[in-house]
């Protein structure tokens, strides 16, 4: 078996965000923690990111190591080398005019996509492809290039057909974001003409970065087994379910791990009072602090429900808004929400909090430390996502003894065990699961939660402790990725396009 190889695998891990340097969502958590987990297994991992201003400021020991030019981009590009953490080399790709702007990597201050996203991420993909082929002046040749989401989707397409190319892995963190652009953009980017075909990047008279990853990678992964099945259906496949069905012998769902160095209630510097399963009673102190911080009455008996995330339709924020007025009639119930995103959802949430002071607290914005305090201080965590490739907050919640309430979809279905009488009896229940992302189903589920909260405390505690015992560390997932890397090396996929004609 290939796991007996004497030398470490050389892996180039490409992402548009990674903790702790730049983060908008779960991709950053994965890109910041899977490479170290692979390094821990003895592999040689180098992470490549665009050089955003914050990444350049924060990265350790940066040195410019190479400069290069690529097609369709007029200027000179600099690759800086540093360290993500011990064992993981970091490359930051500085492309003047592309990534050196403040704010979010993908959208401007109004929440609109940067108008030159195609140019920005195509340029990044070209540099990653050059590194992958050993043509970026780095004197290093990876055996694997692991790409993530649409921003890196062109890489497998750009290296297809090249002799001595590394095996390519493409991980789908969310099918909903595809990077679709028009024919004029395709021509401006000077992409190889052969890529404009149904077997290549073409997608309903446009072209899709995501499709590049799905059509050309040697192996495709997504971040939970259930989502791997869901994306084969029209409801979740966004028009690419046919292609995925065709490639499904090379599609694997690998559940994300979480970084217990960052998300551990026993050693979390952001929270008021550290605790673990043995000292669970101390969790109540975090609840008091959170209530105070958010302007909620300090009531230990109130059921405090938390929610954190991007305020978008996917996350079911509108479902929460639908049921909140009814919930306000319940006694001893408080809600704490942290998020940013769709301005209309932000406005409606803020209005709801204004209408129910002392019961609903809403914090609009991105606040990593407050996210930790909500995980530590709440009794339960609500995630009514319409779809959820993996989801991380339910995993953080389990570790923090904060009972997750989730829709049965994607990674939520794979990680939370419903508190049915049978599961409770067997000690496997870890949360509450409902079956349709609609207000009545969510409402019925919350009625169950409230009934359970009002039982003698030992019931709740049993559920909490079963959740805290779960192990979602990266160990087994990183090993799973390593196996996939070897399978991809041993079974290169034939190129779907006849010829690559730059």
Closest approach of Cβ 372 to ligand ADP, in Å? 8
Tokens (6 digits) for 278: 């043995």
SS3 376: helix
CA neighbor of 304 nearest in space, from 253, 241, 346, 360 = 360
Phi/psi class of residue 135: alpha, beta or left (left: φ > 0; alpha: ψ in -120 to 50)?
alpha
Minimum CB distance to ligand ADP smaller for 392 or for 466: 392
Q: Minimal CB distance to ligand ADP: which residue?
A: 26
Q: How far is CA 303 from the centre of its chain?
A: 28
Asked whether residue 23 is marked as a ligand-binding residue, the answer is yes
Minimum CB distance to ligand ADP smaller for 219 or for 396: 396
Closest approach of Cβ 227 to ligand ADP, in Å? 11
Please, what is the Cα angle at 81 between 76 and 83, to 5 degrees?
155
The H-or-E segment that residue 404 falls in is strand 403-407
Minimum CB distance to ligand ADP smaller for 105 or for 391: 391
Minimum CB distance to ligand ADP smaller for 339 or for 467: 339
Closest approach of Cβ 137 to ligand ADP, in Å? 34
Closest approach of Cβ 47 to ligand ADP, in Å? 18
Where on the chain is the footprint of ligand ADP (CB under 6 A)?
Answer: 25-26, 29, 174, 308-310, 338-340, 366-368, 371, 390-393
Minimum CB distance to ligand ADP smaller for 381 or for 453: 381
Closest approach of Cβ 290 to ligand ADP, in Å? 14
Q: What is the dihedral of CA 229, 230, 236, 237, to 10 degrees?
A: 10
Q: Are 403 and 397 in contact (CB under 8 A)?
A: yes
Tokens (6 digits) for 198: 């149904």
Minimum CB distance to ligand ADP smaller for 212 or for 391: 391
Closest approach of Cβ 368 to ligand ADP, in Å? 5
Closest approach of Cβ 67 to ligand ADP, in Å? 33
CB atoms within 10 A of CB 352: 19
Dihedral sign from CA coordinates of 7, 13, 19, 25:
negative
Helix, strand, coil shares of the chain as percentages rounded to 5?
40, 20, 40
Measured between alpha carbons, how far is 93 from 79 in angstroms, rounded to an integer? 5
Tokens (6 digits) for 405: 């309430």
Measured between alpha carbons, how far is 379 from 280 in angstroms, rounded to an integer? 12
Closest approach of Cβ 364 to ligand ADP, in Å? 8
Minimum CB distance to ligand ADP smaller for 126 or for 146: 146
Q: Are 10 and 144 in contact (CB under 8 A)?
A: yes
Minimum CB distance to ligand ADP smaller for 52 or for 186: 52
Measured between alpha carbons, how far is 314 from 110 in angstroms, rounded to an integer? 20
SS3 307: strand
Pairing status of strand 88-94 against strand 44-50: parallel
Residues annotated within the binding site are 23
Residues annotated within the binding site for ADP-alpha-D-glucose are 23
């Amino acid at each position: 078996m290939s796991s007996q190889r004497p030398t470490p695998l050389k892996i180039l891990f490409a992402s548009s965000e990674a903790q702790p340097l730049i983060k908008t969502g779960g991709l950053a958590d994965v890109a910041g923690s899977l490479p170290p987990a692979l390094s821990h297994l003895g592999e040689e991992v180098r992470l490549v990111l665009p050089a955003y201003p914050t990444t350049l400021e924060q990265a350790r020991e940066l040195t410019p190591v190479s400069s290069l030019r690529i097609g369709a981009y007029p200027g000179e590009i600099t690759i800086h080398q540093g360290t993500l953490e011990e064992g993981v080399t970091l490359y930051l790709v500085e492309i003047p005019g592309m990534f050196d702007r403040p704010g979010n990597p993908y959208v401007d201050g109004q929440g609109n996509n940067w108008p030159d996203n195609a140019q920005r991420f195509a340029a990044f993909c070209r540099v990653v492809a050059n590194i992958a082929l050993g043509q970026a002046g780095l004197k290093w040749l990876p055996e694997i290039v692991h790409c993530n989401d649409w921003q890196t989707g062109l890489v497998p397409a750009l290296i297809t057909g090249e002799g001595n190319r590394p095996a390519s892995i493409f991980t789908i963190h969310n099918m909903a974001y595809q990077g679709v652009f028009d024919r004029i953009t395709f021509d401006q980017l000077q992409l190889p003409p052969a890529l404009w075909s149904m077997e290549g990047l073409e997608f309903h008279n446009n072209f899709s970065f995501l499709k590049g990853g799905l059509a050309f990678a040697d192996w495709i992964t997504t971040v939970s087994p259930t989502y791997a099945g869901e994306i084969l259906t029209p409801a979740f496949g966004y028009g690419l379910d046919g292609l995925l069905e065709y490639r499904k012998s090379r599609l694997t769902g690998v559940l994300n791990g979480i970084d217990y160095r960052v998300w551990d209630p026993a050693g979390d510097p952001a929270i008021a009072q550290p605790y673990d399963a043995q000292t669970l009673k101390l969790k109540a102190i975090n609840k008091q602090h959170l209530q105070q911080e958010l302007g909620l009455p300090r009531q230990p008996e109130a059921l405090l429900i938390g929610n954190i995330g991007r305020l978008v339709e996917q996350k079911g924020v509108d479902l929460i808004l639908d049921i909140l007025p009814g919930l306000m009639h319940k006694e001893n119930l408080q809600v704490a929400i942290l998020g940013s995103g769709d301005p209309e959802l932000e406005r409606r949430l803020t209005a709801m909090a204004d209408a129910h002071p002392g019961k609903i607290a809403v914090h609009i914005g991105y606040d990593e430390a407050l996210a930790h305090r909500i995980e530590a201080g709440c009794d339960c965590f609500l995630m009514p996502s319409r779809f959820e490739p993996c989801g991380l907050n339910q995993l953080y919640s389990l570790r923090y003894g904060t009972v997750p309430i989730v829709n049965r979809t994607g990674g939520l279905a794979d990680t939370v065990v419903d508190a049915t009488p049978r599961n409770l009896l067997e000690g496997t229940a870890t949360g509450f699961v409902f079956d349709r992302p609609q207000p009545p189903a969510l409402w019925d589920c919350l009625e169950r939660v409230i009934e359970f909260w009002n039982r003698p405390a030992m019931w709740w505690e049993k559920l909490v402790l079963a959740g805290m015992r779960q192990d979602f560390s990266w160990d087994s997932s990183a090993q799973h990725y390593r196996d996939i890397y070897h399978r991809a090396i041993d079974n290169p996929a034939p190129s779907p396009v006849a010829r690559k004609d730059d």
